[in-house]
Amino acid sequence: MRIAIYAGTFDPFHNGHLDVAQRASTLFDQLIVAVYEYPAKNTLFSAQERVEMVRESVRDLPNVDAELFSGLTVEYAKNKSACVLVRGLRAISDFEFELEIAHMNRNLDPELEAIFLMTGLPYAYLHSSIIKEIAQLGGSLNGLVPDHIAAALRKKNGSASMVGKPPTSNLVP
């Protein structure tokens, strides 16, 4: 059985992530969307919220599940008997970063392969931090995230955790 791991923070899981997961699911017997539990960056959603949002997003893909993980991705992959790490790419800038990570992972586990799937063109501009900013500023999330994640973002937007925070990108002056 060929098992692949698609690891990330997924804060939030957006339609670009879903596109990669859908396409990767056709290439492997099992795909595990591995949600990193303790990222160095601040997250809007808790680890449990993130994994539940991913599970809901992939529920119609019979060979895909979502799990929390911590520690090295290569160790998690080894524990799951995975042979491949799946990564999504949007642009050349993604490739440079992902290439470095792939080489380091290869150094840590020479048996584990990395494959890169280009995000579908309609999603090439999606980035979780931009989506969070759009939600914070009351913009439309149509076509950016699954409906249940849009609802979760709107709910967070109305909470004290979002109020008064400055924008995190250059979307607005």
Return the active site residues.
17, 41, 90, 128
Alpha-carbon distance of 157 to 132, in angstroms, equals: 9
Alpha-carbon distance of 92 to 114, in angstroms, equals: 17
Alpha-carbon distance of 57 to 15, in angstroms, equals: 9
Alpha-carbon distance of 103 to 7, in angstroms, equals: 16
* Residue position matching structure tokens 């990669």: 20
Residues 6 or more apart in contact with residue 71 via CB below 8 angstroms: none
Alpha-carbon distance of 11 to 54, in angstroms, equals: 10
Q: DSSP per residue over 98-118, as a string?
A: HHHHHHHHHHH-TT-EEEEEE
